[in-house]
Every structure is written in C-alpha cells, then in structure tokens.
Amino acid sequence: MGDGGMPVTSAPESSVRTEAIRLSGVNKSYGEVQAVKDVDVHIEAGEFVTLLGPSGSGKTTLLQLIAGFLQPDSGTVYLNGLDATKLEPHSRELGLVFQHYALFPHMDVAANVAYGLRLRKKPKAEQRERVAECLQMVDLEGMADRRPDELSGGQRQRVALARALAFNPSIVLLDEALGALDRRLRHSLQFQIKEIQRTVGSTFVHVTHDQEEAMAMSDQIILMQEGGVVQQGSPRDLYEEPASEFAAMFMGETNRLVGRVAGIRDHEVDLELGGAREILTVRRPGSQVGDSDPVVACIRPERVHLARRDQPPALSGRLRKSTFMGDHQRHEVQVGDGLLVLKEPPGGLPAPSPGEVVGLVLDRESVHVYPAP
Ligand code: ADP
Ligand code: MG
C-alpha cells in the first residue's frame, strides 16, 4: 500500500530504462561502397557502448550518422526518443571527441574547454566554474593556461574529453579517441574514461577496432562487419556466446577446428573434427546444421585442458609445443590435421613432453559450432 493512502502505480517501463539512441533500418553508401547496411541498433541511456569492428567495417560512418555529419540514404536516427534524422549536428547537443575535431591550437586549455559554453552564451562566472570542474574531472587542474602544443598526446585527449563534457551533453561520441597513444597510456586512459562516464552518467558511444579496449570499457559492444551489425551484447555475451565464427575469431583468441557433423540429436551433435577418427559430442548449435554438413567448431584456449590420468578424455592429440608464458603455460596439440592451443594456469599438471600423445578435456557447452563458410 502507498504512503498516506495515495494510490501506488508502477512506473511505466520507459521511465525505468530510457532509450538514448535508436537507429532503425539505417543505410549509407558512398557511391558503390555500401558503408552501413540495414542497421538497427538500440542504446540505453547511461551506458558505455562500443562500436567494434575491423578497419572499414563502417564504425565511423555509423558514428557520423548519429552525430549528423552524414545523412542516411534511408532509415531513421532517434536521439532521446525523438526523430533527429534531419537535425543539424549543432542542434543535436552531443559531446564529440573525434580525431578530425582537434583542439583549437591558438586557444589555451581553459578556452578550449569553455568553447561549448561560450557558444551557448553562458555567464562568465559559470564558464569558469564549469571549466575548473571539467579539468578536475580529467585530472588536469594545473594545466588551464597551457596551449595544446605544450601538452602530451594523452593530455590533449583529456582536454578534448573535458571540452566535450563541459556543457553536460546527455550523449558523448568518441571515435578512436585513444588510437594514437602508446599501449600503457591507452590502458590507463581506458579506465579513467570509463570512470568519468560512470560519474557523469551520460551515454558514451565509442568507436574502436581494439577488442581488448572494447572489453575493458563497455557495458555493451556492437560488433560490426562489412557495414552490418553482427551482434550486440555485453562483453561477456560476445565472448561466451559469439553469434558467428567471425565474432568468435574477433573477440579474443579462439581455436578453430574444421570438421563435419557425424550425428545429430535433440540437444547434441557429434562432430568428426580435423580429420580425426575421434568423435566429439557437443551442444547442438543454434544455427541450422544438418547431418554430414561441413562445420567449424570454435573453443577458447582456456576452456580446453590436459586430462588427468583418471579423467576420460573428450579428445586426444599429440603435443607439439609447450611454452612458459609467465601467467600461463601454452600448449599446442595436434588433433587430426587441426591444431588446438591450450592455456593452462601455472602450477597445474607436470607438462608432458613434445611428441607425447595427450588426452584433452573440455566443457562441451563452450564449444561453438557454425556452418562452414
Ligand atoms: P571504419 O570506421 O570501421 O574503419 P568507415 O565507416 O570509415 O569504417 O568506412 C566504411 C567503408 O566506407 C569503407 O569501405 C571505406 O573505405 C568507405 N568510406 C568511408 N568514408 C568514405 C568516403 N568519404 N568516401 C568513400 N568511401 C568511404
Ligand atoms: Mg573509423
């Protein structure tokens, strides 16, 4: 019952989870090249979302369509629930951290960060206060008087982020913002930017071709291939349940064994892998495969293990090579004409010698089977 006798009504779904961005049936071509194909995407407010894919997969084009620098050939772009397809970029009220959208070289850091506030004719005192807040947020308090050419690459990107956040946009777009930085700096900025996003609560849409970066930062990943969306989900969804062989190969290391279906039942399939005589029984795939069909089976290196003596192996093969990698031991095992890589935690079984026949155990649920291309 409600307080003070007031009737209690449950909040409508839309007020619980608000939609920041929706793309519906979006297409974009440059002449003959179809850069974005039939894209339907839904992004919740307050999430950190990454557009991930190889170079040329349409990530930047998709981000430019959201920003309004490009118009779709067909389809609709909704921002905060409203049709924004025809809106000019400056009317979309988005924070932008784009590579071609560099800092103004003749302005100091404070003037760069204040840029959006000046455009919006905010009072001087409010500008100063907000600039100080934003510089503190990106850890650059002492740098307000510096010019961009007196900053390191990482500092420049943090100023660009402060500039994008200054007018409190509900949506921030970042295109390969960390791409030009060295690996160590990229790592520390990944966590810093994710932390800032959590603090301000805006929706961030970030473009990268770096799968580790996407994993480290994102609530949701939108995986793209040749202009289309292959899969959208949490980093864990994409890693554990890749929707296609491409997704499995792109999201971290995976073993790929070719074979054919040797038997098919309600929930299981038997696979004949890598020309091996052995049969591996695994979970039946969601995608349609029929008896005798050629298939590809994918399994992560950390999901296959050397069998102990008392364990019935799921497969067997010949150990080719064993390498100490510090945090794990890496084994390469020949199974039929295929090669399986295993990552064993340190301090496991004593390593067998190369050339020995070894048994392998694996979790059948973590083998993903796709139709052969
Ligand atoms: P990504 O950001 O994933 O690398 P892009 O969106 O930049 O991909 O490009 C997608 C495809 O569109 C690529 O084949 C690219 O060569 C092409 N493309 C991008 N921009 C242009 C342009 N201005 N003119 C012609 N083709 C373009
Ligand atoms: Mg790009």
Q: What is the pLDDT of residues 48-87, one digit of tens each?
A: 999 999 999 999 999 999 999 999 999 999 999 999 999 9
Residues 143 and 146: their CA atoms lie apart, in Å, by 5
Q: Which residue has the higher pLDDT, 223 or 347?
A: 223
pLDDT band of 39, cuts 50, 70, 90: very high
Nearest CA to 362 among 212, 275, 235, 254?
Answer: 254
Q: Is ligand 1 within 6 A of the CB of residue 55?
A: yes
Question: Is the CB of residue 35 less than 8 Å from the CB of residue 227?
Answer: yes
Q: Residue 95 corresponds to which tokens in the numbers above?
A: 């924070």
Q: Is ligand 1 within 6 A of the CB of residue 61?
A: yes
Q: What is the mean pLDDT of residues 22-45?
A: 97
Residue 206 CA to ligand 2 centre (angstroms) = 11
Residue 76 CA to ligand 1 centre (angstroms) = 20
Closest CA to ligand 1's atom 24: 30
- What is the position in ligand 1's atom list of the atom closest to the CA of 207? 2
Instruction: Rank 136-140, 230-234, 308-312, 368-372 by mean pLDDT and report only the highest.
Output: 230-234
pLDDT band of 337, cuts 50, 70, 90: confident
pLDDT band of 221, cuts 50, 70, 90: very high
**11: pLDDT strictly greater than 60:** no
Q: What is the pLDDT of residue 275?
A: 72
Q: What is the pLDDT of residue 71?
A: 97
Q: Which residue has the higher pLDDT, 228 or 351?
A: 228
Q: What is the pLDDT of residue 278?
A: 74
Nearest CA to 126 among 99, 174, 76, 166?
Answer: 166
Closest CA to ligand 1's atom 25: 30
Strand partners, 39: 26
Question: Is the CB of residue 255 less than 8 Å from the CB of residue 266?
Answer: no
Q: What is the mean pLDDT of residues 10-34?
A: 83
pTM of the model: 0.90
Q: Is ligand 1 within 6 A of the CB of residue 208?
A: no
38 burial type by CB count under 10 A (0-12 exposed, 13-18 middle, 19+ buried): middle
Q: Tokens 């495969």 map to which residue? A: 289
Q: Is ligand 1 within 6 A of the CB of residue 225?
A: no
- What is the position in ligand 1's atom list of the atom closest to the CA of 31? 25
As a whole-number percent, the residues of the chain with pLDDT over 90 amount to 77
Q: Which residue has the higher pLDDT, 346 or 44?
A: 44
Q: What is the pLDDT of residue 2?
A: 39
- What is the position in ligand 1's atom list of the atom closest to the CA of 36? 10
Ligand nearest to the CA of 28: 1
Q: What is the pLDDT of residue 241?
A: 93
Instruction: Rank 127-141, 262-276, 351-365 by mean pLDDT and report only the highest.
Output: 127-141
Q: Tokens 């301000």 map to which residue? A: 200
pLDDT band of 359, cuts 50, 70, 90: very high
Q: Which residue has the higher pLDDT, 373 or 195?
A: 195
Q: What is the pLDDT of residue 301?
A: 96
Residue 202 CA to ligand 2 centre (angstroms) = 22
Q: What is the pLDDT of residues 242-294, one digit of tens each?
A: 999 999 999 999 999 999 999 999 889 999 987 767 788 888 887 788 899 99
Ligand nearest to the CA of 176: 2
SS3 61: helix
Q: Is ligand 1 within 6 A of the CB of residue 54?
A: no
Q: Which residue has the higher pLDDT, 321 or 284?
A: 321
- Report the residue among 33, 52, 173, 205 best suited for mutation to probe ligand 1: largest number of ligand atoms under 8 A from its CB: 33
- What is the position in ligand 1's atom list of the atom closest to the CA of 63? 6
Report the mean per-residue pLDDT for the chain.
91
The 220-225 sheet, strands edge to edge: 94-97, 171-175, 203-208, 48-52, 220-225, 228-233
pLDDT band of 16, cuts 50, 70, 90: low
109 Cβ contact partners less than 8 Å away, ≥ 6 residues apart: 135, 140, 143, 144, 145, 146, 147, 148, 151, 159
Q: Is ligand 1 within 6 A of the CB of residue 53?
A: yes
**3: pLDDT strictly greater than 90:** no
Question: Is the CB of residue 52 less than 8 Å from the CB of residue 63?
Answer: no
Residues 255 and 107: their CA atoms lie apart, in Å, by 51
As a whole-number percent, the residues of the chain with pLDDT over 70 amount to 95
- What is the position in ligand 1's atom list of the atom closest to the CA of 53? 3
Residue 297 CA to ligand 1 centre (angstroms) = 32
Q: Is ligand 1 within 6 A of the CB of residue 58?
A: yes
Q: What is the pLDDT of residue 149?
A: 94
Q: Is ligand 1 within 6 A of the CB of residue 104?
A: no
